[in-house]
Amino acid sequence: MDTLLTAEIVASSPQFRRKSSIFVDAIHDLPEKADLAPAQLYSTESGRLFHSGRIVIITVGLPARGKTHISVALARYLRWLGVKTRIFHLGDYRRATIPFGEDMPDDYFYVNATASSVLLRQKIVRKCREDIYHFLNHENGQIAIYDAVNPLASGRRSLAKEFAKHDIETLFIESWCDDERIIEANVRSVKISSPDYVSWKPEDAVKHYLNRISARIPQFQTMEEKDLNYIKMINAGERLIVNNRSFGYLSNRIVFYLLNLHIKNRRTYFARAGVSLDAASYKADASLSEQGEDYAQKMTECLLAHREAEKETMVARGDVNYEPRPLKVWTSTRRRTVETAKYLHEKGYTVRQRSQMSQLNPGVCEKMSERRIRAEFPDEVAKHELDPYHHRYPRAESYHDLAVRLEPIILELEREQNDLLIIAHESVLRVLYGYLMACNAADIPFLEFPRDEIIEIIPESYQNEAQRIHIPNLPEEIIPASPEDLKIPVPPSGFVSPIQGLGSPADGLATPQSGLRTPREPERISQQHVEDVV
Amino acid sequence: MPLPLPGIYLPVNEQSDTSKICVVMVGLPARGKSLIAGKAMRYLGWVGIPARVFNVGNYRRSNTPQPQATFFDPHNEEGERMRRAAAQAAMTDMLQWFKKDQGVVSILDATNSTKERRKWIAQECAAAGIETLFVESICDDEDLITNNILEVKTTSPDYKGQDPELAVSDFRKRIGNYQKVYETIGEDEKSYPYVKLINVGSTVIINQIKDYLSSRLVYYIQNLHIKPRSIWLSRHGESQYNLTGRIGGDSSISERGEAYARALPELMRKSGIPENTKIVIWTSTLRRTIQTARHLKADTGFEKLEWKALDELDSGVCDGLTYQEISEQYPEDFKARDDDKYNYRYRGGESYRDVVIRLEPIIMELERSENVIIVTHQAVLRCIYAYFMNIPQENSPWMEVPLHTLIKLTPGAYGTDEKRFKADIPAVSTWRGKGTSATHQEFPAGGH
């Protein structure tokens, strides 16, 4: 059994810092000891949650059933929970094994394939499996997602047996679909964008693609193996069948997550709360100042105008009946976020207050200038600089604490079918953005949300895209950061904020975190995955 | 939007929008329906969602207190008529409850074993704007059924005062009568949101779940297990702040607190730990709970987890003050807190309601786990205790949980058994009665 460490010990060790921020690649530059992820509940020496073993999640399903979408979404969630997860796309191995320009044998997926095809199949699977073992045994991986078609019961049973020999549990996730519309939409959105189908009519391309699948994979057996652990997702989540032989903590969590997952194309907007009267005080929970009121109004106008413009663009493109999804607003229970939503509320939009969305608690650092924090807590500042994500000032919350607290919000975010505006403190926006964009935990404290921008997140098949909407005519002093911001994380000594003195009191109150890292491009959770045309 | 008052404002619309849900239990007798219904109601009530069980059997009993199995024979017209009347009465009351008392989740606990009955329920609910969620429990494991019959049904009011053996045989006949007409939820009912639990969740079919609240309920039900286990609760040993009557803070334990920490392993043994039982120790991230569990961990080698979610209620600006100081510095707040202690949120801090929300993942974990000892703080312990013992919100913040006392909770089919073990190490009493600002007193002298 793992020796447990407290987050603090882990946090104060420099080797735990992640070097890269791109998901798939970052796994390879992880140090031997594990990193902590955004919402990991506790830490262990091996980096694995001790009340769950190592699991291989094996996808089952014909192409165009959303397997990869599910794999990517699951990886995003698990990784955020602090479970070291990696996706292994069998297709990538197939392409790497079959020389470029050569086609895979016609009988590759057949039950009674020729000996040479069976050998080829075994070779490809073996290589992939070796990598999975390496990840789980030598890289402290906890969950490997094995993304493949796995059409036959016999093959699935032998996979489970093989992994069991290595003391690894298996959980099969089948995506099964008999709703032609879902399959067609999937084919259209992700399959026929390949170069093979340039200049094809979409309908013809879809038909051709589906015909190729049925010729290639003539036999597909849906999961009925009562001796295996599986979750069968029918028609993109309309129904879930759970065959629970020995579900542990993580498997149950995965069911809950899948229950909330949908593939709707809705938007999430992030906006900061307005400036408040007693902005330096966390505990005061003050109302909006006059500037804050002004911001609330301008933000509202800007967002509504943006949505209107988007609608017009869609209509102009020929989608005459385009209606944006209804907009909902979530705020924290802190006054200034509730009051920032006032105008939207007056216009009849639904506003929900969520107590989990209160800002990061600054603890003893409340109302303190950076200079004072450095003078009074030099040891804490040193620890903080080593790991701004996990370090917790006395009586304060760390970003990690905040992420754990926000988990129900994350699930509701996945479930929500309407467009959603989230008005919250910058610390909360950082964590939520970090989830949606799969940011590295170490980068989350440094994400920037200047007040003159609304962030819009648009889901795409393999990654989410973020775009910034500019709010015009705001007084400059409220844009970069207001004194409401916590003076943590404290920047390294000698750091000069490029925006120092911008409308802030003499004491160096300008936000220390701005400019620490260059603004980042939206992250991808996975490399652009080259889709198979089987 | 009503703008919040300082300190005491309530989250508006905290719960999942406006959807109202009727959870409809489906299944033969002795399939654990009432257990699931009872637990779900307790869980929902605890997270602040108004929930109520409508047990059709109770309605039927008012006319037919102790019917024979023949009453349930589908060919017994009189029995059939009376059972339908009972279902109708339950439905009427339920709809009334949604309308008048702002109910959010009702649980209709009955066999609801025919398609016709389920269709009627779905229609009645739809007409009233209420979503339905059918929860069917199917069990073909004979041992499980027999256990259930023996444990639960021999204590049922239907058989009160009767020979247990006759009761069991009559009850089996009754099940047989239900079996004649029982129809599992079928493909022609696939437009209903439903969960089918087969053999205590070894297979679960989840269909058409439409809202987050339902998904939470499903997740909750899926985490339930029926293995015997206990949960031990303890506050931290007496702290330096307890001695000076201050609230909050992150002080170390006092000498007497340390004595309690040393006594804890023995106290645990005294409370009874079944052989070969693995227990997991949960503490908060604050010093006083970690120190209190230190010797227990060293002595037993049990796994230990530190949860931020188990930290004490954050008293905001009042952190580090005595009750006396609070009543002087924030007299209005002090009074407001007494008026509604559950909802009162300290300036810049938390309310009991907030603590419950952050404890929800802990409860899910507890339902899933087996033996756990939790070393935590007064307010947090009150909330966890309230969940297991079904203490209403208005009482739980006032509950007395003395220092240096180990509470052992053993959940059973129809309630939780509680035993307390005192360590016999003196400590101050930190309990404060409504309207007083009493300083912490020497235990057991406490004047409450």
Contact assessment for residue A273 and residue A482, using Cβ atoms and an 8 Å cutoff: no
Supply the Cα-derived Rg of chain B in whole angstroms: 25
Residue A362 tokens read as 């600054």
Residue A405 contacts B where some CB pair is shorter than 8 Å: yes
Q: At what angle do helices B212-223 and A249-260 cross, to 10 degrees?
A: 160
Band of residue B293 on the pLDDT scale cut at 50, 70, 90: very high
Put simply, the answer to whether B305 touches A395 (Cβ < 8 Å) is: no
What does each C-alpha distance from B72 to B83, B174, B177 come to in angstroms? 8, 6, 6
The alpha-helical segments, DSSP class H, found in B301-351 are 323-329, 331-339
Q: Residue A4 forms beta bridges with which residues?
A: A44
Lowest mean pLDDT among A309-313, A516-520, B129-133, B289-293: A516-520
Which value does ipTM take for this structure? 0.74
Q: At what angle do helices A249-260 and B352-368 cross, to 10 degrees?
A: 120
DSSP secondary structure code for residue A195 in this structure: G
Report d(CA A429, CA A449) in Å as an integer: 8
CA distance B181 to chain A (A): 26
Residue B222 contacts A where some CB pair is shorter than 8 Å: yes
Put simply, the answer to whether A239 touches B207 (Cβ < 8 Å) is: yes
- Predicted local distance difference test score (pLDDT) of residue A519: 32
Q: Where are the beta strands (DSSP E) in A302-355?
A: 327-331, 350-353
Nearest to B228 by CA among B406, B90, B409: B409
Higher local confidence (pLDDT), B304 or A370: B304
| Nearest CB to A283 within list B3, B316, B354 | B316
- Predicted local distance difference test score (pLDDT) of residue A212: 84
Supply the Cα-derived Rg of chain A in whole angstroms: 25
Judge if the upstream peptide bond of residue B11 is cis by omega within 30 degrees of 0: no
Put simply, the answer to whether A281 touches B211 (Cβ < 8 Å) is: no
pLDDT at B70 over 50: yes
- Predicted local distance difference test score (pLDDT) of residue A243: 94
| Nearest CB to A4 within list B4, B209, B303 | B303
Phi, psi dihedrals of residue B269, rounded to the nearest 5°: -60, -40
Stated length of chain A: 534
Chain B residues inside the 8 Å CB shell of A345:
1
What does each C-alpha distance from A441 to A484, B88, B244, B366 come to in angstroms? 23, 55, 40, 28
Higher local confidence (pLDDT), B211 or A157: A157
> Looking at chain B, which residue has its C-alpha nearest residue A240?
B206
Would you give the distance in Å from CA B272 to the centre of its chain?
Answer: 24
Per-position b or e across B83-120, b if 16+ CB within 10 A of its CB: beebbebbbeebbeebeeeebbbbbbbbbbbeeebbeb
Helix (H) or strand (E) holding B320: none
- Predicted local distance difference test score (pLDDT) of residue A79: 81
**Choosing among A223, A242, A337, which should be mutated to test the B contact, i.e. which has the most B CBs within 10 A?**
A242
Residue A52 contacts B where some CB pair is shorter than 8 Å: no
- Predicted local distance difference test score (pLDDT) of residue B88: 94
Judged by DSSP in three states, A483 sits in coil
Q: Residue A145 forms beta bridges with which residues?
A: A57, A87
B395 is in an annotated binding site: no
> Looking at chain B, which residue has its C-alpha nearest residue A238?
B208
Chain B residues inside the 8 Å CB shell of A333:
4, 9, 11
- Tell me, yes or no, if B312 is annotated catalytic: yes
- Predicted local distance difference test score (pLDDT) of residue B154: 62
Put simply, the answer to whether A408 touches B368 (Cβ < 8 Å) is: no
Judged by DSSP in three states, A88 sits in strand
Report d(CA B395, CA B418) in Å as an integer: 18
Residue B305 contacts A where some CB pair is shorter than 8 Å: yes
Residue B211 contacts A where some CB pair is shorter than 8 Å: yes
Q: Residue B197 forms beta bridges with which residues?
A: B137, B204
Put simply, the answer to whether A241 touches B205 (Cβ < 8 Å) is: yes
Residue A40 tokens read as 């990991």
- Predicted local distance difference test score (pLDDT) of residue A462: 62
B242 is in an annotated binding site: yes
- For chain A, the farthest-separated pair of C-alpha atoms sits apart, in whole angstroms, at 79
B377 is in an annotated binding site: no
Residue A367 contacts B where some CB pair is shorter than 8 Å: no
Chain A residues inside the 8 Å CB shell of B316:
283
- Predicted local distance difference test score (pLDDT) of residue A89: 86
Higher local confidence (pLDDT), A361 or B279: B279
Put simply, the answer to whether B308 touches A397 (Cβ < 8 Å) is: yes
Report d(CA B111, CA B27) in Å as an integer: 5
Report d(CA A432, CA A421) in Å as an integer: 12
- Predicted local distance difference test score (pLDDT) of residue A237: 85
Report d(CA A184, CA A397) in Å as an integer: 47
Put simply, the answer to whether A244 touches B4 (Cβ < 8 Å) is: no
Nearest to B85 by CA among B99, B71, B100: B71
Contact assessment for residue A91 and residue A528, using Cβ atoms and an 8 Å cutoff: no
- Predicted local distance difference test score (pLDDT) of residue A186: 80
Put simply, the answer to whether A335 touches B4 (Cβ < 8 Å) is: yes
- Predicted local distance difference test score (pLDDT) of residue B125: 96
Put simply, the answer to whether A243 touches B304 (Cβ < 8 Å) is: no
Put simply, the answer to whether A415 touches B17 (Cβ < 8 Å) is: no
Contact assessment for residue B342 and residue B396, using Cβ atoms and an 8 Å cutoff: yes
- Predicted local distance difference test score (pLDDT) of residue A534: 39
Chain A residues inside the 8 Å CB shell of B317:
283
pLDDT in tens, B393-408: 889 999 989 999 999 9
CA distance A30 to chain B (A): 25
What does each C-alpha distance from A82 to A40, A79, A85, B26, B65 come to in angstroms? 4, 5, 9, 38, 55
B237 is in an annotated binding site: yes
B194 is in an annotated binding site: no
Contact assessment for residue A488 and residue A389, using Cβ atoms and an 8 Å cutoff: no
Chain B residues inside the 8 Å CB shell of A397:
308
Phi-psi region of A71 (alpha: psi -120 to 50; beta: other; left: phi over 0): alpha
β-pairing, A230-234 vs A169-176, is parallel
- Predicted local distance difference test score (pLDDT) of residue B56: 93
Residue B203 contacts A where some CB pair is shorter than 8 Å: yes
Q: Residue A147 forms beta bridges with which residues?
A: A89
B236 is in an annotated binding site: yes
**Choosing among A391, A395, A418, which should be mutated to test the B contact, i.e. which has the most B CBs within 10 A?**
A395
- Identity of the amino acid at B353: R
CA distance A406 to chain B (A): 9
DSSP string, B21-44: EEEEEES-TTSSHHHHHHHHHHHH
Phi, psi dihedrals of residue A315, rounded to the nearest 5°: -65, -40
Report d(CA A452, CA A476) in Å as an integer: 9
Contact assessment for residue A331 and residue A351, using Cβ atoms and an 8 Å cutoff: yes
B239 is in an annotated binding site: yes
Q: At what angle do helices A407-415 and A67-80 cross, to 10 degrees?
A: 160
Report d(CA B239, CA A458) in Å as an integer: 51
- Predicted local distance difference test score (pLDDT) of residue B275: 85
Put simply, the answer to whether B305 touches A4 (Cβ < 8 Å) is: yes
- Predicted local distance difference test score (pLDDT) of residue B27: 95
Report d(CA A360, CA A396) in Å as an integer: 8
Chain A residues inside the 8 Å CB shell of B304:
4
- Predicted local distance difference test score (pLDDT) of residue A34: 40
Residue B440 tokens read as 């912490």
Which residues 235-294 of A are in CB contact (within 8 Å) with B? 238-245, 249, 252, 255-256, 259-260, 281-285
Which residues 14-33 of B are in CB contact (within 8 Å) with A? 14, 16-17
Put simply, the answer to whether B206 touches A242 (Cβ < 8 Å) is: yes
Residue B406 tokens read as 């180990």
- Predicted local distance difference test score (pLDDT) of residue B439: 56
> Looking at chain A, which residue has its C-alpha nearest residue B282?
A42
Report d(CA B2, CA B241) in Å as an integer: 38
Put simply, the answer to whether A401 touches B308 (Cβ < 8 Å) is: yes
Higher local confidence (pLDDT), B4 or B191: B191
CA distance A330 to chain B (A): 11
How many contacts (CB atoms, under 8 Å) link A and B? Answer: 129
pLDDT in tens, B343-384: 887 876 788 988 998 888 789 889 988 899 999 999 999 999
Indicate which residue of B136, B236, B377, B440 is catalytic. B236
The alpha-helical segments, DSSP class H, found in B182-254 are 212-223, 240-244
Put simply, the answer to whether A283 touches B211 (Cβ < 8 Å) is: no
Written as tens digits, the pLDDT of chain A (534 aa) is: 333 333 333 333 333 333 322 222 222 223 333 444 455 554 444 445 555 578 999 999 998 888 888 888 898 888 887 788 888 988 888 888 887 777 778 788 777 888 888 898 889 989 999 999 999 988 878 899 999 999 999 999 999 999 999 989 999 999 999 888 888 888 877 776 666 677 788 788 888 888 888 888 888 999 999 999 999 999 988 899 999 888 877 888 899 899 888 766 789 999 999 988 876 677 778 889 999 999 999 999 999 999 999 999 888 877 777 888 899 999 998 889 999 999 999 999 999 988 889 888 887 788 787 888 888 888 888 888 887 887 778 777 888 878 878 888 988 888 888 899 999 999 999 999 988 887 777 888 888 888 999 999 887 666 678 889 999 999 888 876 533 344 444 443 333 333 332 222 223 222 223 333 323 333 333 333 344 443
Residue B21 tokens read as 């849900």
Mean pLDDT over B298-312 rounds to 89
What does each C-alpha distance from B446 to B320, B376, B431 come to in angstroms? 22, 22, 8
Mean pLDDT over B63-91 rounds to 88
Report d(CA B219, CA A486) in Å as an integer: 36
Average pLDDT, chain B: 87
Report d(CA A471, CA A456) in Å as an integer: 13
CA distance A28 to chain B (A): 29
Q: How far apart are the first and last CA of chain A?
A: 44
Judged by DSSP in three states, B212 sits in helix
